[in-house]
Amino acid sequence: MLSERKIYKIYFFLLSTIPISIILGSSISLVNVVILSIFSLTILIYQKEFNFLNSISIKLIVVLYFYLIFNSLISQDYLVGVSRNLGFVRFILLFICINYLFFNYSRAENIFYFWIATILILTLDTYIEFFLGKNILGWGGINEPHGSRITSFFKDEPIVGAYLSGFILMIFGFLIQKYKYKNFLPWFFILFIFSAILISGERSNAIKIFFGLILMFLFFEFLNLKKKIIILIFTLLSLMLAVNQSNYLKTRYFYQFISHFSSKEKFQKFIKESDYFKLYRSGIAVYKNYPIFGVGNKNYRVETCADGKKNNKYDYYCLTHPHQIYIEFLAEHGIVGTLILLSIFFTLMFKILLNIMVSKNYIQIGSFCFIIFVFTPLLPSGAFFNDFNSTILWLNISIMFASCKKTNIFNYSSFKKGR
């Protein structure tokens, strides 16, 4: 069998390359996570390391997995979502793997340096595309399908802001914890990356991360209330000044928003004609037709795109998903599934909140704040269970548990405390 040193190196390599694999595409990301999962399972079986199965957290995630399998069986078209639901097992193994690495290897946090390198390269490319119209590979520009929104290395998908949002808070927490708040590096990083999210044009992600940062600041015991207020005011003024320097950003963040509320007639027109509100109404219509268990994971498109007559009858809007997490849950999982999903995720989040507050582990705090704003109501969101969003979400959930010994699932004492 491999030596401990080689096991660590393989774990380290596979985890370090996850951010790169996400950029390269969902297929590459899937392969990366699957290889990591198989490797982890092999190591755990060989070492006969099964105590973690007593963890309440693992039991909750396994319940989630069995619910998703059940959801496939009752779906409108089970073939559409079955691969996604069965494939969720890789995120369980990813969760176990990251906890194992952090619990057994003192240098596990070094993966953040490789993640930072990837994030900085993508961020630099984002600035290049914003100022020059094309990224370093010649992609992007105003003639692309998404207009002036930044795509960078994602080429034809405007998800730069969503990608950076998934890493910015946990890495900021790591830098604060590693270099302390008096060092300029954490503050430079957060300003540099958040500005990139802002110029990406992804308003929903910019808003979520802005409030995520405010929530993080509330956890910072090294800042008194006065300093927190000063930093908040300074940040708001800086953001307003930065947005004011770009006609695109002014239009994207202010004029488009203000124009919808300039009169009652324009607001009513916006509510009626906006693609987002059409999707919201459509998702609610699907829920009303299937209120108990929904149409099934990934089946919103099956229900709303199959029959034109049905669309006219129920005000359906044909697209991949409703673009809002709670409406997506209700449409595809019904009231029963929604309660199951929210109960599991909220239990995972809040049952270790007291420990997070006491331990002052800023990596945990960063991940916790990201997860909280994944579940922000009202704001638009991507498909919850797609590979891109699920990988980023489960990286944060895994890091939130793994980065502190007390909450790590391999800590035997945590079993007795229900963690």
Greater confidence (229 vs 111) lies with 111
pLDDT, one tens digit per residue, over 274-303 is 888 899 999 999 999 999 999 999 999 999
User: Chain centroid to CA 176: how far?
Assistant: 21
pLDDT at 172: 96
pLDDT, one tens digit per residue, over 300-330 is 999 998 876 567 678 899 899 999 999 999 9
pLDDT at 143: 43
Return phi, psi of residue 156, to 5°.
-120, 15
User: Chain centroid to CA 264: how far?
Assistant: 35
> Rounded CA gap, 39 and 41, in Å?
6
> Rounded CA gap, 321 and 195, in Å?
29
Inter-residue contact 69 to 24 (CB < 8 Å): no
Average pLDDT over residues 333-342: 97
> Rounded CA gap, 191 and 224, in Å?
21
pLDDT at 414: 55
In the predicted structure, residue 413 carries a pLDDT above the cut 70: no
Assign 257 a pLDDT band (cuts: 50, 70, 90). Answer: low
User: What is the average pLDDT score of the chain?
Assistant: 88
Which range (90-94, 222-226, 397-401) has the least confidence?
222-226
pLDDT, one tens digit per residue, over 381-403 is 989 999 999 999 999 999 999 99
Domain ranges of the chain: 53-82+274-353
In the predicted structure, residue 270 carries a pLDDT above the cut 90: no
Average pLDDT over residues 109-116: 95
pLDDT at 308: 66
In the predicted structure, residue 253 carries a pLDDT above the cut 50: yes
> Rounded CA gap, 90 and 385, in Å?
13
pLDDT at 145: 46
Q: Which residue type is seen at 64?
A: L
Which range (139-148, 150-159, 282-291, 307-316) has the least confidence?
139-148
